[in-house]
A = this chain, B = another copy of it.
Amino acid sequence: MTRLDTSFAALSDPTRRGVLEQLGRSDASITDLAQKFDMTLTGMKKHVGVLEQAGLVSTRKIGRVRTCQLGPRRLEEEQAWLERYRQRWEERFDELEKVVEELSRKEKGDESRNRK
């Protein structure tokens, strides 16, 4: 699994995106997060584990409480991939538009020649 595989997979779940949004506001314990997202502790631990694996969340245990905060990765690579994609997408559709225009110009040309 490459880095992009892991991070896009981590982002493909609404609870995990919610956890990241929450941790963007303030750090939280797994118990807090489980309550906030109406989920069992085990379920939340699993989600946090996926986010931790992807470098999106860091956790530290103080006494009996495991606190979560945003991890080291800020998803720059992922953003760059999407940006490149959007650019290519627009170029492709511009090309297609030109082809369609060219075809319709030719058609009109043929029509006017046929009329003569």
Binding site for B on A (CB under 8 A): 2, 4-6, 8-9, 11-14, 17, 20-21, 23-25, 69-70, 74-76, 78-79, 81-83, 85-86, 88-93
* This chain's copy number in the assembly: 2
Query: A8, B12: Cβ atoms under 8 Å?
Result: yes
Sample 9 A-B pairs with CB under 8 A, ordered by A number.
Answer: A4-B17, A8-B12, A12-B12, A24-B92, A70-B88, A70-B92, A78-B82, A79-B79, A79-B86
CA distance A75 to B85 in the complex (A): 8
Most chain B CB within 10 A, of A12, A13, A69, A92, is at: A12
Q: What chain B residues lie within 8 Å of A89 (beta carbons)? A: 24, 70, 74-75
